[in-house]
Chain A
Amino acid sequence: METTLFDLKSGQEAVIKNFKGGAEFQKKLRSLNLRAGKTIRKVTAEPFHGPVVIEIDNTEVAIGMNMAKKIVVEASESGSDT
């Protein structure tokens, strides 16, 4: 199912599909290896419009809410453990 990183459920795994943002935005994401095709896991979203935390490779990354809304992902069928 295609959704954004923001809407993805916590604990769920997903594959990054594409980005609803410009070249600068994508370049910034690439610096932490957020590229199309990478598998990520959403750890949590902080309350009060706080950042989304994901796990990618062996690091966690905190991503501002509005940035998370611009990252389109394909959620894995299973993989949800919440």
Chain B
Amino acid sequence: MKILLMGNPNVGKSAIFSRLTGIDVMISNYPGTTIELKKGKMKLDGETAEVIDVPGTYSLDPASRAEEVAVDMLQEGDLVINVVDATNLERNLNLTLALLERNIPVITVLNFWDEIRHLGIHIDVKKLESCLDIPVVPVVAVTGEGIKTLVSRLHEAKAHQKRYSEEERWENIGKIIREVQQITLKKHTLLEMLEDLSVQPLTGIPIMFSVLIVVFWTVRIVGETMIAYLFDPLFALYLPLVTDLSRMLGGGGVIHDILLGTLIAGQIDFIQSMGLLTTGLYVPLAMVLPYVVAFYLVLGILEDSGYLPRLATLVDAIFHRLGMHGLAIIPMLLGLGCNVPGALSTRILEGRKQRFIAATLMAIAVPCMAQTAMVFALLGPYGIKGLGIFFMTLFAVWLTLGFLLNRFLGGETPETFMEIPPYRIPYPASLGKKLWMRIRSFLTEAVPFVLLGVLIVNILYVFGIIGWIGEIAAPVIVGIFGLPKEAVAALIVGFLRKDVAVGMLLPLGLDMEQLIVASVVLTMYFPCVATFVVLFKELGARDLLKATAIMIVTTLLTGGILNALL
């Protein structure tokens, strides 16, 4: 049996999916969190049923790609759990009634049952059941309240196939609402006042800058603290172990070099040695992971509070000059964590032009946290100046390139029309779960690539390939970017992992200016292989080729100009 979870965006479908199947999925307080069908299994009357989390949709007349996916799914399903936001019953019932025309069994879930009380809304569930002639179950997805009842009543789901015109449907909804819903005057809460303040420009813009500054410093400070007090001490305990191993292996030789790398001044150097057990572990675990944790902790709070759609509204005017909706701030922010989810989330944007611009800008000008962490380590010692120039350059590239792409690419970007959900206090348990999902995927998906990167560095050096490519690439690297030939090794590895690549700059003894140029070029010139694969899937071969050409030209220009100016 196939059970579909369907409903408007941001009504808690994924939260219910996770409760039913036990599978952790992304749950955030903005419309468009789920972008792909997600399948799971649950036990029902001793049998396994398939549960499918369908992207949110406002209607069954497919208006966008996501809605098409939802409507197509309807053909395959055996039962629909229609998730409804109880605080917004009228709007949500439109989809419920549309589903009731499709001759498929439907059961309706009134989610956010915890929120309706203090909103002064009263819903008569029994009456609603008889009006709709299907079971209606109030639940609180985040706490699990009502989920058991939902499961026990699934078999009561009922199919209808009355046909209404849209007019009749709204009339019907009006009648139902008058019958089942009462609204008593509500008090304005502090959160609601904050909702207004954070979108009104006079207060909203200062709030936005404060939030961004707090985010940046929190990530840095939390990251640095974790390194200083947790990860470095741990690796200090680990050092004698690898040092012993090095001695046992005779301090050199092929196996020694692959496992532990080369000794720097007779010692193992976790950053420069380039062995699987030294650099291969130290870079991802002690240099990158702390910042990844810090970043995703802060991002999770931003996502679950409901601030992101408000940020999107504030920056909408600027983003439209770059051919995007303000909502494109979401792929950009996700991209700051990792470009892979960033590229995937461009799907929430309407129209091909907008998706192309967002994906291209993100891939070129948004450094992922792995890379940023290494840049912090490299440029951090030069204080705010080095980091400032690095980030300002990327921001300028992002702005200029977006402006040009919007100018010269054909096609329109439709106007913004977007729901802004209410502010919600994030549940610590959900925050923790989300953070853990992201850390886990970093450990299982990124760390193997780091190890592979380190291995390839060794192979390239052993066979002298780096020297050979260095000669060929010298005109660009030395001539345009003003970097030593050896930097080519970092550029090659950067295609695999940007963090390892930035780390490889350290032994080259670059000055601050060269470090900035190299870090900027490494960010821009090519996304890592994982991002590249996702971009290929999202954009198709032709657009990816176009994006790549843009990427190469922009990198050469930016690197050259930066080298000339600094």
Given A33-B91, A43-B199, A44-B199, A58 and B416 contact (CB-CB distance below 8 Å): no
Taken residue by residue from 397 to 417, chain B's Cβ proximity to chain A (1 for < 8 Å, 0 otherwise) reads as: 000000000000000001111
Name the segment of B137-145, B147-155, B419-427 touching the other chain.
Answer: B419-427
B201 at the interface (CB under 8 A from A): yes
Closest to A54 in B: B420
Taking the complex as formed, is B196 at the interface, i.e. its CB lies under 8 A from any CB of chain A?
yes
The interface-forming segment of A12-20, A61-69, A72-80 is A61-69
Given contacts A33-B90, A48-B317, A53-B199, contact A61 B170 (CB under 8 A): no
Interface string of A13-52 (1 = CB under 8 A from B): 0000000000000011111110100000001101111110
| Nearest chain A CB to B310 CB, angstrom units | 8
CB distance B170 to A35 under 8 Å? yes
Task: Give the nearest-CB partner of B420 in chain A.
Answer: A60
* A57 on the B face (CB < 8 A): yes
Tell me the bound Cα distance from A9 to B415 in angstroms.
21
How close is A4's CB to chain B, nearest CB, in angstroms? 15
Interchain CB contact under 8 A, B415 and A47: no
Most chain A CB within a 10 A radius of its CB, from B63, B318, B416: B416
B176 sits at the interface (CB 8 A): no
Residue ID in chain B nearest A63 by CB atoms: B417
Contact with A along B295-315 (1 / 0, CB 8 A): 000000000000001001110
CB of A10 closer than 8 Å to a CB of B: yes
Does B48 sit at the interface, judged by CB under 8 A? no
CB distance from B83 to the nearest CB of A (A): 16
A76 CB to nearest chain B CB (Å) = 16
8 Å CB contacts to A: which residues of B34-72?
58-59, 61, 63
Q: Is B195 an interface residue (CB 8 A)?
A: yes
Across the interface, name the chain A residue whose C-beta is closest to B173: A33
CB neighbours (8 Å) of A53 from chain B are: 199, 313, 420
Contact across chains for A58 and B415 when beta carbons are under 8 A apart: no
Interface size of B by CB at 8 A reads: 36
Interface residue from B58, B313, B326, B420 paired with A31 (Cβ < 8 Å): B58
**A46 and B91 form a contact (CB under 8 A):** no
When distances are taken between beta carbons in the complex, the residues of chain B under 8 Å from A47 are 201, 317
Of the candidates A29, A33, A44, the one whose C-beta lies within 8 Å of that of B201 is A44
A37 to chain B, nearest CB (A): 9
Kindly report which residue of chain A lies nearest to residue B93, judged by CB atoms.
A33
- Distance in Å: Cβ of B329 to nearest Cβ of chain A: 13
**CA of A63 to CA of B119, assembled, Å:** 24
A45 to chain B, nearest CB (A): 8
In the bound assembly, the distance between CA atoms of A47 and B313 in angstroms comes to 11
The answer to whether B87 touches A31, judged by C-beta atoms less than 8 angstroms apart, is no
**A44 to B200, Cβ gap below 8 A?**
yes
Chain A residues near B201: list those with CB within 8 A: 44, 46-47
Residues of chain A within 8 A of B316, CB atoms compared? 46, 50-51, 62
* A61 and B200 contacting across the interface, CB-CB below 8 Å: no
* Inter-subunit contact A64/B415 (CB<8 Å): yes
Given the complex of chains A and B, what is the CA–CA distance between A65 and B416 in angstroms? 9
Shortest Cβ gap from A80 to chain B (Å): 14
Q: Which one of B59, B417, B420 has the greatest number of beta carbons of chain A within 10 Å? A: B417
Q: At the interface, yes or no: B88 with Cβ under 8 Å from chain A?
A: yes
Contacts of B88 in A (CB 8 A): 33, 57-59
Residue of A27, A32, A48, A66 touching B91 (CB-CB under 8 A) = A32
Given contacts A32-B58, A61-B418, A64-B415, contact A46 B317 (CB under 8 A): yes
| Residue in A43, A48, A62, A63 whose CB lies within 8 Å of B196 | A43
Whether B200 lies near A50 (C-beta < 8 A) is no
Cβ-closest chain B residue relative to A11: B196
Selected contact of A62 from candidates B200, B318, B416, CB within 8 Å: B416
Give 30 CB contacts A-B under 8 Å.
A10-B200, A30-B94, A31-B58, A31-B63, A33-B91, A44-B200, A44-B204, A46-B313, A46-B314, A46-B317, A47-B201, A47-B317, A48-B318, A51-B316, A57-B90, A57-B91, A58-B119, A59-B88, A59-B420, A60-B420, A60-B422, A61-B419, A62-B313, A62-B326, A62-B416, A62-B417, A62-B420, A64-B414, A64-B415, A64-B417
Interface residues of A (CB under 8 A from B): 10, 27-33, 35, 43-44, 46-51, 53, 57-67
Q: Which 5 A-B pairs have the closest CB atoms?
A: A64-B415, A50-B317, A31-B58, A33-B91, A60-B420
